[in-house]
């Protein structure tokens, strides 16, 4: 399938976006091919630049009486920190920056598709898979760091205890089961997020095109509100599942004692 045919096919199932339009106008050129290939990655980098700028402005000058941006940033950080610590305990505070960044980044990517002539990067599996692999790598690193090699192996074997539990069959079976589960996690995380956002975008296109001007407007407004809620929920689900994965590998105080 050529780039022109691909753009035409996509335009029937999604709203046009600026980069896609430029890529179509410059088809059969190196620039057009580059824009078409890296469309979602470009939007992702633009969001990174936007969030970095907002974070810089919010933390550049700390005032005793904070302005709106600093006040919002402090409220957001405090809320995320309280939520993380409610699940992981006080030791989870060091993971607040990662979880908070993950949540706000996914949320903005989800919401970007609701802005006219822009596109949500999370509707592409390559972006959500990257996020899932980052979570997978960080969780495994945390497991090795917190548990050590022996503790990690014990965790993967289901923490077998007693004479019967240490038979060769059960630990090997549990290790294989946990290993499959760990490998599947980034794919399940990424596919869940991508599929939900992609479905919401396609439903928005369908509802907007139904029933003429009045019906399309009412249907589009309904789906727009639904997508706003869905975008927030999907960012929360991804973040909460990440917290659960951390909770499974962290040593809790009662276990330590």
Q: What is the pLDDT of residues 76-110, one digit of tens each?
A: 899 999 999 998 888 888 999 999 999 999 999 99
Residue 184, judged by CB atoms within 10 A of its CB (0-12, 13-18, 19+), counts as exposed
For 3-24, the DSSP string reads HHHHHHHHHTTS---HHHHHHH
Is 19 contained in some domain?
A: no
Count of C-beta atoms within a 10 Å radius of residue 115: 11
The residue count for the chain: 257
Is 234 contained in some domain?
A: yes
**Residue 192 pLDDT:** 93
Is 53 contained in some domain?
A: no
Q: Which of 248, 202, 243, 201 is nearest to 103 (CA)?
A: 243
Q: Mean pLDDT across the stretch 237-255?
A: 81
HSE-CB of 97 using CA atoms within 13 angstroms? 3
The residue with tokens 């794919």 is 187
Q: Are 69 and 54 in contact (CB under 8 A)?
A: yes
- Which one of 11-20, 158-167, 174-183, 213-222 scores highest in mean pLDDT? 174-183
Is 153 contained in some domain?
A: yes
Number of domains in the chain: 1
pLDDT at 22 > cutoff 70:
yes
- pTM for the whole structure: 0.85
**Residue 8 pLDDT:** 44
* Domain residue limits at 80: 58-256
Is 248 contained in some domain?
A: yes
Is 65 contained in some domain?
A: yes
pLDDT at 146 > cutoff 80:
yes
Lowest-confidence range among 97-111, 155-169, 198-212?
A: 155-169
Is 13 contained in some domain?
A: no
């Amino acid at each position: 399938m050529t780039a022109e045919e691909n753009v035409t096919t996509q335009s029937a199932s999604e709203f046009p976006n600026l980069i896609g339009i430029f890529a179509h106008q410059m088809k059969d050129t190196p620039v057009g091919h580059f824009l078409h290939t890296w469309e979602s990655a470009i939007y992702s980098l633009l969001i990174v630049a936007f969030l970095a700028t907002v974070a810089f402005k919010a933390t550049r000058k700390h005032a005793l009486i904070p302005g709106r941006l600093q006040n919002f940033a402090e409220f957001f950080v405090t809320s995320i920190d309280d939520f993380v610590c409610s699940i992981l305990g006080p030791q989870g505070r060091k993971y607040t920056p990662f979880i908070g960044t993950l949540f706000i980044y996914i949320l903005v990517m989800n919401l970007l598709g609701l802005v006219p002539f822009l596109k949500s990067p999370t509707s592409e599996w390559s972006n959500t898979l990257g996020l899932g692999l980052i979570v997978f790598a960080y969780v495994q690193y945390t497991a090795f760091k917190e548990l050590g090699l022996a503790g990690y192996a014990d965790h993967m074997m289901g923490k077998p205890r007693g004479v019967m539990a240490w038979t060769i069959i059960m630990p090997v079976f549990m290790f294989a089961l946990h290993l499959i589960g760990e490998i599947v996690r980034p794919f399940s995380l990424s596919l869940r997020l991508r599929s939900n956002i992609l479905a919401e975008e396609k439903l928005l296109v369908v509802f907007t095109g139904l029933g003429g001007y009045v019906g399309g407007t009412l249907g589009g407004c309904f789906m727009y509100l639904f997508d706003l809620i869905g975008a927030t929920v999907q960012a929360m689900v991804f973040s909460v599942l990440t917290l659960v994965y951390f909770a499974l590998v962290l040593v809790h105080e009662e276990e330590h004692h």
